[in-house]
Amino acid sequence: MDPKFLLIVKVPRGIIIRDLPRPESKGSRAMRSMPVGTSLYAYGIHIIEGVPYANLVPRDPKKPEWVRVAEADHSIEYVDVINLDSSDNASELVNAITLLATAVRELARKNL
């Protein structure tokens, strides 16, 4: 299965990857955190209890990974979502965004 979305972490504090598409208070476990500018691939985005979560391409295929895309009211968007299916030049777009994300991450590290 090919990823359908490229996610770029955009919140300064980074984002937490979880084992379930729900908050810690409802039983999910934090697996790791990713800093601003990190690119992640996702198979799909699902609305669970009104909150959008992305089903990530996991490091280990036996362990699903999920990340919150935004708050339910979209007051905070944690990642930029790029639909890879909508572009004929998806590989060029991915390369450009990866370069941009790396530059943003380096800039954020220097400013912290």
As averages over each run of 10 residues, the pLDDT of the chain (112 residues) reads: 92 95 95 95 95 96 95 91 72 75 82 69
| 9 CB-near residues (< 8 Å, 6+ apart) | 15, 34, 35, 36, 37, 38, 39, 40, 78, 79, 101
Give the CA diameter of the chain: 41
pLDDT score for 100: 82
CA distances from 56 to 6, 35, 45, 98, 108 (A): 9, 16, 9, 17, 24
Angle at alpha carbon of residue 80, lines to 106 and 31, rounded to 5°: 75
CATH 2.30.30 at 5-111, yes or no? yes
- Could you tell me the residue ranges of all domains in the chain? 5-111
C-alpha of 2 from chain center? 16
**Sheet with 5-9: strands ordered across:** 30-34, 15-18, 66-68, 51-56, 39-48, 5-9, 79-83
Q: What is the pTM of this model?
A: 0.76
pLDDT score for 32: 96
pLDDT score for 106: 83
